[in-house]
Amino acid sequence: MKIKNLVMAGVFSTASLMTSAAWSATDIQWWHAMGGRLGEVVNEIAEKYNASQTTYNLVPTYKGGYEDTMTAGIAAFRAKKQPNILQVFDAGAATIINAKGATVPVAELMEKYAGGFDIKDYISGVRYFYADSSGKMIGMPFNSSTPLLYWNKDAFAKAGVAGPPKTWEEFEAMAPKLAAAGYKALAQSHSPWIFSENFHSRHNLQMATGNNGYDSTDVKILYNNPHMKMHWTKVKEWLDKGWYGFYGRAWGDNQDAFVQKKVAMWLGSSGSFGGLTKSADFKFGASFLPYWKSVIAEPKGTFIGGAALFAMSGKPEEENKGVADFLKFLTSPDMQYFWHKQTGYVPITNAAYDKAKADGYYKTTPDAEVGIQQLNQPGGEWTKGYRLGYYVQIREVMYKNYENIFSGKSTVDEAFKAMETESNALLERFHATYK
Amino acid sequence: MKKIDWNLVSTHTILIIGVIFMSLPVWVAFATSTHAPETILRDGLQFWPGGHFFKTYNEVLFVEGGVMKKVTAMAMLKNSLILGIGFAIGKVIISMLAAYAIVFFRFRLALPLFWIIFMTLLLPLEVRIIPSYEVMAGLNLLDTHTGLILPLIASATGTFFFRQFFMSIPDELLEAARLDGATPWRFFVDILVPLSKTMIAAILIIMFVVGWNQYLWPLIMTTKEENYTLVIGIKQIYQVLADGGQLPQYQKAFALTILATLPPVLVVLVFQNWFVKGLVESEK
Amino acid sequence: MKRVQFEHSTIPYMFVAPQILIIAVFFLWPAGQAVYQSFLLEDAFGLSSRFVWFKNYTDTIWSPSWLQAAWFTMIFSTLVTFLSLGLALLLAVKANQVIHAARTYKTTLMWAYAIAPPVAGLMGNLMFHPLIGDLYKFLNAIGWNFDHKLDSFDAGFVVVLISVWKQTSVNFIFFLSGLQGIPKSVIEAATLDCRNATRRFWSITFPLLAPTTFFLMVTNITYAFFETFGIIDTTTRGAPGGATTTLVFKVFQDGFRGADLGGSSAQSVVLMIIVLTLTVIQFRFIERKVHY
C-alpha cells in the first residue's frame, strides 16, 4: 500500500513538474505603435516566434501612435513597470538613447546571448541611426523606410514627358508640361523628414554641430544654410506657380492627392507602394529622391525613418535572454523577408535582401527594391542620420515655419532664422537636462 | 381664417435647424459607415446609406482583427460600459455627499474644502498622467477597472453642479425638516435626493459618456489589449489614417463610432422620463 | 452660504471624506509631483534630475510660441463659451416650450454629446478635407477662399465650430434639467402676471436659471481651456504655423509628445494659475448676482 502511495506521489509530482515547466514560459512584453494592418503582421510575427520555441512567450501590445507608445514606456519605466521591448521612433531616439541606463544596447545583448553581433550584417543605410558615436547599435531598427519619389506613369504619358526627374533641375523643366496637362507636378508628405533631414543626407550636408549630434548634446542646428534656403525658396515659387500642392501636414492627405490624380508626383516612403497598389487606379513607378545638381554632383544615400526596438533595462536576466533570442529570430533572413513582403518596410540585413533577390521578389515587384537601393547608395560623412534632443518639438517648429513660408506670413529668411533660434533654444534645454 | 401662431412657427424652425446642426454629423457617420473604404476615400462623407451595412458591422463586432487582432468590438464595448456606468454612479454618489456636506453644514473647513475640490478642474488628467500612473502602479491597480475609474472620480464637476442646485433649495425646507426632527441623513435621503432627480439624471448622462469616451488614461494604464475601450479602437483606426500608407478603414471607424454612440443614446432615452416637467409630487 | 444649516460637527466630514480621500491620492499627490517637476530639469526616464528654480518657467513662458498660444487660447475660449452657451440656452428654452414632438427634439438634440472628441475631430477633418470634403467644396463655391491648412482664420473657424458643436449638446442637457427644475406653479403665476414671453423669460426664468448658468459658465470656460485639445489634436494639430495651438495643447505637445516633463509641468502650473484667477473673479463678481 505504502509503496503504491509513494509511486503515485512520485508520478503526480513529476507530472506537475513537467506541466509547470511547460507552462512557465517566460513572458516577454513588447510595446509597439504599429496599428491597423501593420499591427496584424506584428501579431503574426509573435505567433510565429512563439510557435518556434517553448522557452519564451512574446506578448505584443499596441500602445497607440509613436508618441503615445514612448510616453507609455516612460511612465512605465518611472513606475518600474516597463516592458521588455519598447518601440521608439526616430524623433525620440535622442531621448531614449541619452538616458543612460534606460536600455541595454542590442549589440551587447546579442553579443552575450544570441551568439554574436556584427554590424556589417546590416545594410549600410540602417546601421548608424540608432547607434552611439562609437558605432555600437543601441536600438534595433524595426520598421525602416526611406523617402522615395512616386510618379504617375499615365499622367506623364499624357503630358508627353519622359521618365521621372533625377534632379530638381530636371523637375523644373518638366513641371510646366505637367501643368499644361492639368496636374500639379508635386506633393510630399513630411517636410522635416523628406525636405530637411534627408535633403541634407542626399546632398551630404551637415545637419547639426557635434557630428550631427552624435558626439554630444551641446549642439546647434545647422538648418539655416544657403542650400536649404535656396531649396525652400524654390518650393515656395513652385507653390505659387501651381507646380507644388500643399495638402496639410498629415501624411495621408498628401498621399491622397497623388492617388486622386491631382498631383503627378509624390514624395513618400519606400513602404508606400503597398498601399498605392491597392488604392491607385493608374500605373505608377518609384524612383530615387531628386537632388540639386547645383549643390552636389554625385548624390549620396538617404537614411531611415521609422522606429527601432529597444531592450529596456531593469528586467531579470532570464527575460533579457528572451529578448536577445527574439531579436535573433526577427533578424533572420526568413523573418526579415516576411516582414518586408508583408509591410513594404526594408529588410535590414544583407542576407535578407539577398534572399529576396534570389526569390525573384523584385522581378514581380520592382518598386519594393528602390528603397533598399537608395539606402545602399554610397554613404557620405553626413548620411548616417542625426541625434538631436527634443526633436519632436523641433519638428513642430519646422512645420510651423514651413507653413508660414507657404502662407506668405514669413519670408524664407525670417522663417529659417526663427526656426534656428527656437530649435537651438530647445537643444540647449535638452543639453542642460542630459549633461 | 386661422391665425398663424408665428411664435410657434419660429420656435419649431429654430428647433429644426438646431436638430439638423446637431444631428447631421451623427447621421452622416452612420451613412458613411455603410460604404466601402474605397468609396469614402474617393468621394468623402456619404449622406445616403450604401450597401455594406452587414459586412462592416459584422467585421467590427465579431471578427477578431476587425479592429485589432486580439480584441473585438464586443470586448471593448464591455470595457467602455463598465467604465461608463461605474464612473457615472460613483461620481453621483460621491459628489452628492460632498456637496450636501458643504452646503448644508456649518463647519470650519467647508470653504477651503470646496476650493480644494474645485481645484481638480484646473489640472486635467492628461497633465498629471505620468505621476498618476506611478500611484496606480504602486497601489497595484494597473489593468483593473477600479484603477481605471478611481482617478477620474477625483474631479469636481459633479460636486460643483450639485452645490449650485442645493444652494437654490429654499431655506424653509430645511427649517421645516428640522422642526420635524429630521436627522441629516433622513433629510438627505427622503427630501433632497427626490428633489434632485433631474439633476441626477443630467449628471448620470453626462458622466456616463465621459467615462465611456475615455482614451488616454485607459491606453496608458492598461497593459493588455483585452482591457481597451471603444475609443481606443476608434483612435487606432484614425492613427492609421494619419500615418498613411494603408487603405484607411474609415467605414470601420464610423461603424465603431455609431456603436459607441448607441449606449449613451439609450441612457438618454431611459432617463428622459426624469426630464419630464412637473414632478407634481415634489412641488413645495 | 445658506442661512439655515445643520450644526453637526462630524457628519459633514464623513460625507465629504470619500471625495477628499480620492482627491488626495489621485489628484493632490500627482499634482504636487507635477509642480515639483516644474522646478527640475529631468530626463524623461527619471534617471537624472537637477533642481533649477524657475528656469523652466522663464524658458517656456516667454517664448514667442507660448505667447501666441496664450493669445489664441483667450480668443478661442471666449468664443466657444459664449457661442455654445447661447446656442444651448436658446435650444433648451424652445425645446421646453413646444408640446408636439418635444421628446423627439430633446433626444435628437442630446445625441451629439455622446460622440467622442477624436471622432468629432475626424468628422470635421473629413468634412473640411481639401480633396473630398463637402463643407470645403461648399465654402469655396460660395466664394470663401477656404483653406484651413494655410489660413489661420479658417483653421480657427474649424476648431471653434467643432468645439461649439460638441459643447452645445452638453450645455443643452444641463439647461434643460435646470428649466425642468423650475416648479410649474412659478411659471403659471408668471404667465398670469406677464403676457410677454420674452419679458417673462428675462425677468423670471433666466434669474431662476442663474445657478445653472453660472455653473455652466465656469465649467465651459474651464472646458474651453482644458478639454478641447482632443479636438485640436485630431483636426488642425495647432497648425498652421501654431495659429490654433492652445496653451493646453502646447502642454500636451511638449510633455506628452515631446517628453519635456519639466517644461510642460511649468506650463501647466501657469495655466492652472490663469484659470484659477479667472474662476475666482467669476465667483467674486458674478456669483453675488446669482440668486439662489
Interchain CB contact of C114 with A (< 8 Å): no
Number of A to C CB contacts under 8 A, please give it: 111
- Asked if the C-beta of A75 comes within 8 angstroms of chain B's C-beta atoms, the answer is yes
**Does residue A32 contact residue A308 with C-beta atoms inside 8 Å?**
no
Percent of residues, chain C, with pLDDT higher than 90: 7
Q: Which amino acid is at C55?
A: K
- Chain C CB contacts of A102 under 8 Å are 45, 47
- Mutation pick from A407, A409, A422 vs chain C, by most beta carbons of C within 10 Å, is A407
Tell me which chain A residues have a C-beta less than 8 angstroms from the C-beta of B42. Answer: 260
* C40: helix, strand or coil: strand
Q: Cα separation of B30 and A404, whole Å?
A: 37
Return residues 153-212 of B near A (CB < 8 Å).
Answer: none
Are the beta carbons of A68 and B240 separated by less than 8 Å?
no
Separation between Cα atoms, residue A290 and residue C288, nearest integer Å: 68
Q: What is the ipTM of this complex?
A: 0.81
The span from the CA of A31 to the CA of B224, in Å, is 10
CB atoms within 10 A of CB A115: 9
A351-357, Cβ contacts within 8 angstroms, sequence gap of 24 or more: A351/A121, A353/A123
CA separation, residue C105 to residues A45, B20, B24, B47 (Å)? 52, 10, 13, 21
Cβ-defined contact of C260 to A247 (cutoff 8 Å): no
Is it the case that residue A183 has pLDDT exceeding 80?
Answer: yes
Closest chain A residue to the Cα of C56, Cα to Cα: A429
C145 touches chain A (CB under 8 A): no
Percent of the residues in chain C that have a pLDDT greater than 70, as a whole number: 98
Residue A122: per-residue pLDDT: 92
> Which subunits sit against B, judged by 3+ Cβ pairs under 8 A?
A, C
CA–CA dist B137, C20 (Å, integer):
21
Of the listed ranges A17-26, A274-283, A391-400, C39-48, the least confidently predicted one is A17-26
Question: Picking from A186-190, A231-235, B46-50, which range would have the lowest pLDDT averaged per residue?
Answer: B46-50
Q: Do C257 and A95 touch (CB under 8 A)?
A: no
Q: Do A271 and B248 touch (CB under 8 A)?
A: no
Task: Say which residue, A312 or B201, is predicted with more confidence.
Answer: A312
Q: Give the confidence band of A1 by pLDDT, cuts at 50, 70, 90.
A: very low
Q: Give A19's pLDDT tier (boundaries 50, 70, 90).
A: very low
pLDDT tens readout for residues B109-150: 888 888 888 888 887 777 777 788 888 888 888 888 888 888
Four-point Cα dihedral C208, C209, C211, C212, nearest 10: 160
Q: Is the minimum CB–CB distance between C262 and chain A shorter than 8 Å?
A: yes
**Angle (CA) B87 C226 C177, round 5°:** 55
Neighbours of B204 (CB within 10 A): 21
Question: Residue A43 above 70 pLDDT?
Answer: yes
Quick check: A187 pLDDT over 90? yes
- Looking at residue A167, the DSSP 8-state letter turns out to be B
pLDDT at A237: 95
SS3 A267: strand
**8-state DSSP, C291:** -
Interface list for B 182-241 with C (CB within 8 A) = 184-185, 198-199, 201-202, 205-206, 209, 212-213, 215, 231, 234-235, 238, 241
Q: Estimate to the nearest angstrom the gap between the alpha carbon of A358 and the chain centroid.
A: 25
The pLDDT tens digits of the residues spanning A131-177 come to 988 889 999 999 999 999 999 999 999 999 988 999 999 999 999 99
C-beta separation of B229 from B37 below 8 A: no
CB–CB of A371/A299 below 8 Å?
A: no
CA angle, residues C252, B217, B25, in degrees to nearest 5: 80
- Chain B positions touching C185 (Cβ under 8 A) are 283
Segment among A193-202, B101-110, C181-190, C221-230 with least mean pLDDT: C181-190
What does residue A149 show for φ and ψ, rounded to 5 degrees? -100, 130
Quick one: closest CA in B to C130, which residue? Answer: B44
Q: How far is C184 from chain B (nearest CA, A)?
A: 6
Contacts of C64 in chain A (CB under 8 A): 418, 422
> Nearest chain A Cα to B41, which residue?
A256
